[in-house]
Amino acid sequence: MALNPHMRAMALTSLGARKVDAVEREIPVAGPGQLVVSVAACGVCRTDLHVVDGELPDPKIPIVPGHEVVGRVVDIGRQVEGFVHGDRVGIPWLGHACGECELCLAGRENLCRQARYTGYQIDGGYAEFAAADARFAFHLPDSYDDLHAAPLLCAGLIGYRAYRTAGTCRRVGIYGFGAAAHIVAQVAVHEARDVFAFVSPGDDQARRFALDVGACWAGWSTDAPPSPLDAAIIFAPVGSLVPEALTRTAPGGIVVCAGIHMSDIPSFPYRILWEERVVRSVANLTRKDAREFLALAAHVPIRTQVRSYALTDANLALEDLRAGRLSGAAVLVP
């Protein structure tokens, strides 16, 4: 551990502040079952933005955001197995589940009522050090450096769960082409699926970005694709895209809402849902998702596009994400 017992962090100190503040904290000490890592990189996720902007209920205050954490183990608590000092690990959104309820026992720990989340109820990675339940930390593929590994831990994991939820399909549409979408698109192309990208009208940068990572077509969110979609995944937190996407899916198609927060979905006529179309949401992730996806990411291999920021520039990274100025993912580097 560092000789100085204190660390720098960026924390949300009041509800709805829409910014984080520079604070000094004591470096955490690993309790039973915990790891403490020296943070090497932490991705900036749209969920962080929802927390900071007060769009998610009841965060711990103050809270250090950040749940795409890459770091090296510097302290190991009792009852921890499978990790040694110096191991590089990733810490994702799901930070704890009870393991005993009906949902956990059914393999649905992502829906556990006692779950706790990194950067929301558990201090996260906008800091020089972070503590985590060792059961919810993962070894990372050696083929990624710290900066490019960070987006895999939420954009990748949640995107992967949404993609798998969409089922086996040949034509998949993706609405909102940011960090998660650019990862999912590469998985879909690897599996020989056709990717149709939908971006905000007039956003030529996002349209070009989608084509660069393998989309066979990219247009505005209100455009009709060249062929009906078998499935659509909505990453943009815009409820009006749900009926829009339904009108673009073939009979039996599925629309997956992949965000943790979305504006209200407007009413829509039953006829666009008819013919066995399905609308469903994706919530959180499981450790099984993480193990599967991290192995797949190295195999594809997935290329993550990132823009790095100093830890003290966390508000700039959040504002760039809020304003739609990013292609790929923002990553903080302490």
Q: What pLDDT was estimated at residue 216? A: 98
Mean pLDDT, consecutive 10-residue stretches, the chain (334 aa), reads 80 94 97 98 97 96 98 98 97 98 98 98 98 98 97 96 95 96 97 97 95 97 97 97 98 97 97 98 96 96 97 98 92 97
Whether residues 198 and 324 share a domain: the answer is: no
CATH number at residue 225: 3.40.50.720
Does residue 329 form part of some domain? yes
Which alpha helices (DSSP H) does 166-200 contain, by range? 179-190
Overall domain count for the chain: 2
Does residue 99 form part of some domain? yes
The DSSP H or E segment spanning 39 is: strand 34-44
- Separation between Cα atoms, residue 127 and residue 196, nearest integer Å: 37
pTM: 0.94
Q: What pLDDT was estimated at residue 274? A: 98
- Please state, in angstroms and as integers, the Cα–Cα distance from residue 174 to each residue in 4, 41, 171, 184, following that order: 47, 27, 10, 9
> What residue numbers bound the domain in which 258 lies?
157-281
- Separation between Cα atoms, residue 73 and residue 138, nearest integer Å: 11
Q: What pLDDT was estimated at residue 3? A: 58
Whether residues 60 and 111 share a domain: the answer is: yes
The DSSP H or E segment spanning 11 is: strand 6-11
Does residue 93 form part of some domain? yes
- Please state, in angstroms and as integers, the Cα–Cα distance from residue 143 to each residue in 140, 189, 299, following that order: 9, 20, 10
CATH number at residue 311: 3.90.180.10
Whether residues 275 and 305 share a domain: the answer is: no
Does residue 1 form part of some domain? no
Q: What pLDDT was estimated at residue 102? A: 98
Whether residues 144 and 292 share a domain: the answer is: yes
